[in-house]
Amino acid sequence: MPGQLAASRAAAQATATQQPAQPQAAPETPRPGVYLFATGGTISNRRGGRLSVDELIQSIPNLPRYVRAEGEQFSNTSSGAMTLKNWVDLARRINERLKDDQDLAGVVVTSGTDTLEELAYFLHLTVRDERPVVVVGAMRNPSTLGYEGAANLEDAFRVAAEPASRGMGALVVLNDEINSAREATKTDSLRLDTFTSRRSGILGVADNDRVVYVRKPVKRHTAQSEFDIGAIDELPRVDVILTYQGAPGDLIRAAVDAGAKGIVIAGAGAGATSGTQSDGMRYATEKNVFVVTTTRAGSGRVPGGGRGRGGYRLNGDDLQPIKARVLLMLALATTSDPAELQRILREY
């Protein structure tokens, strides 16, 4: 019996030593870092006081599953109260943050939706990095039933962390859709699906399972941009003048006399003007103020451009009037050569 017991123990020990080791759990993959710049807008405009950057981050319960989030309160106001100097300072700050933290996957910027498309395009032209800048907002405020801000913000963080977003430039993310900052435009004053890219179409979607892209921007932007915001202290004045039946040219003259360096005409159709606007445009070019023709139609190109009396009339190609203004301000801050200005309007 003692011998049999010893033999059994030895056999058990041998069997135990022959059993394969239990697999160890794989180390957890580090979550990508995304930095939030909060500027205010409806997304934070809670009754009784605006949400802070920390409160915005904390409003997304599942966020730690996707990213390692941190941020700063750049401002906390309505988008209409943002100044051009604020734009310049924000672009500089984003560039600095991306340069200082090479491990960041991307950044998110909150904005009021009324001027979101202008800010997004400005960042599209001035943040010189391949990592995405995702601009996000909300149509309903945090005190409203059906507030969609937290969902939009979660999508924005996921898009900023998505490797496929690299090289896409500045992006506008609302309502689960991803639009390029160049083409995104607000099309409805109240509906949640207000931001579209009209005929160009969305870049992709932020679905529950993953972020999916269906196309890429082809115009120059971000890392390929020639605009060095660090060398620009002040943006020149550029005004937008709308064409309508019998529109007077004296509004153009008034803008020129007030110090405008450029005028964007939101023309009818493919850039047609009305009333005495042609006289006002002639006055502008005689004063060496650059006139850029765009369309108020919402989509489509404006062909042509060329020399006018005393100066040049340029065309904004397919840029929306307010986007042409943003680009012309940056262009005039770097050059006054008409050929260069037209090149810039075509390349961006």
Q: How far is CA 186 from the centre of its chain?
A: 13
Q: Answer yes or no: do 201 and 74 share one domain.
A: yes
Tell me: the pLDDT tens digits for 187-236? Answer: 999 999 999 999 999 999 999 999 999 999 999 999 999 999 999 999 99
Given 29, 39, 42, 295, the catalytic residue: 42
Pairing of strands 177-180, 170-174: antiparallel
Tally the domains of the chain: 2
Q: Answer yes or no: do 318 and 296 share one domain.
A: yes
Active site residue 42: yes
Q: What is the largest CA-CA distance in the chain?
A: 119
Candidates 9, 255, 179, 257; CA nearest to 265 is 255
pLDDT at 305: 64
pLDDT at 297: 96
Write down how long the chain is.
Answer: 348
Candidates 200, 170, 41, 50; CA nearest to 111 is 41
pLDDT at 122: 98
Average pLDDT over residues 329-333: 98
- For the ranges 23-27, 117-121, 137-141, 192-196, which has the lowest average pLDDT? 23-27
The more confident residue out of 211 and 17 is 211
Whether residue 190 is contained in a domain is answered as yes
Q: Answer yes or no: do 241 and 213 share one domain.
A: no
Alpha-carbon gap, residue 271 to 268, rounded angstroms: 5
Q: Answer yes or no: do 205 and 166 share one domain.
A: yes
Is the pLDDT score of 30 beyond 90?
Answer: no
pLDDT at 286: 95
pLDDT at 309: 47
| Residue 245 dihedral angles phi and psi, to the nearest 5° | -60, 125
Residue with tokens 């030895």: 10
Q: How far is CA 204 from the centre of its chain?
A: 14
Place 327 in a pLDDT band, splitting at 50, 70 and 90.
Answer: very high
Place 26 in a pLDDT band, splitting at 50, 70 and 90.
Answer: low
User: Of the residues 224, 245, 277, which one is the last residue of a structural domain?
Assistant: 224
Q: Answer yes or no: do 219 and 327 share one domain.
A: no
Alpha-carbon gap, residue 71 to 101, rounded angstroms: 13
Print burial letters for 283-315: b (CB count within 10 Å at least 16), e (below 16).
bbbeeebbbbbbbbeeeeebeebeebeebbbbb
Place 308 in a pLDDT band, splitting at 50, 70 and 90.
Answer: very low
Average pLDDT over residues 67-73: 98
**Rounded to whole angstroms, what are the CA distances from 337 to 90, 232, 344?**
28, 17, 11
Whether residue 23 is contained in a domain is answered as no
Q: Answer yes or no: do 73 and 200 share one domain.
A: yes
Average pLDDT over residues 5-34: 61
Cross-strand pairs, 176? none
User: Of the residues 224, 244, 264, which one is the last residue of a structural domain?
Assistant: 224
Q: Answer yes or no: do 58 and 128 share one domain.
A: yes
Alpha-carbon gap, residue 329 to 244, rounded angstroms: 24
Average pLDDT over residues 282-307: 90
Average pLDDT across the chain, whole number: 92
What count of Cα atoms within 13 Å lies in the side-chain half-sphere of residue 311? 21
Q: How far is CA 127 from the centre of its chain?
A: 10
**Rounded to whole angstroms, what are the CA distances from 90 to 12, 104, 106, 206?**
70, 17, 15, 26
Which structure tokens are listed for 346?
């075509």
User: In CATH, what number is assigned to the domain containing residue 255?
Assistant: 3.40.50.40
Tell me: the pLDDT tens digits for 137-177? Answer: 999 999 999 999 999 999 999 999 999 999 999 999 999 99
Is the pLDDT score of 310 beyond 50?
Answer: no
Whether residue 314 is contained in a domain is answered as yes
Whether residue 71 is contained in a domain is answered as yes
pLDDT at 29: 77
Residue with tokens 């943002």: 82
Average pLDDT over residues 173-183: 98
Q: Answer yes or no: do 253 and 281 share one domain.
A: yes
Whether residue 27 is contained in a domain is answered as no
Whether residue 276 is contained in a domain is answered as yes
Where in the sequence is the domain holding 311, given as residue range(s)?
236-347
Whether residue 231 is contained in a domain is answered as no
> Which percentage of the chain shows pLDDT scores above 90?
88
pLDDT at 25: 56
Q: Answer yes or no: do 165 and 55 share one domain.
A: yes
Alpha-carbon gap, residue 44 to 138, rounded angstroms: 9
User: Of the residues 197, 224, 251, which one is the last residue of a structural domain?
Assistant: 224
Q: Answer yes or no: do 179 and 53 share one domain.
A: yes
Residue with tokens 């160890």: 24
Is the pLDDT score of 334 beyond 60?
Answer: yes
Q: Which residues contact 65 (CB under 8 A, 6 or more apart)?
A: none
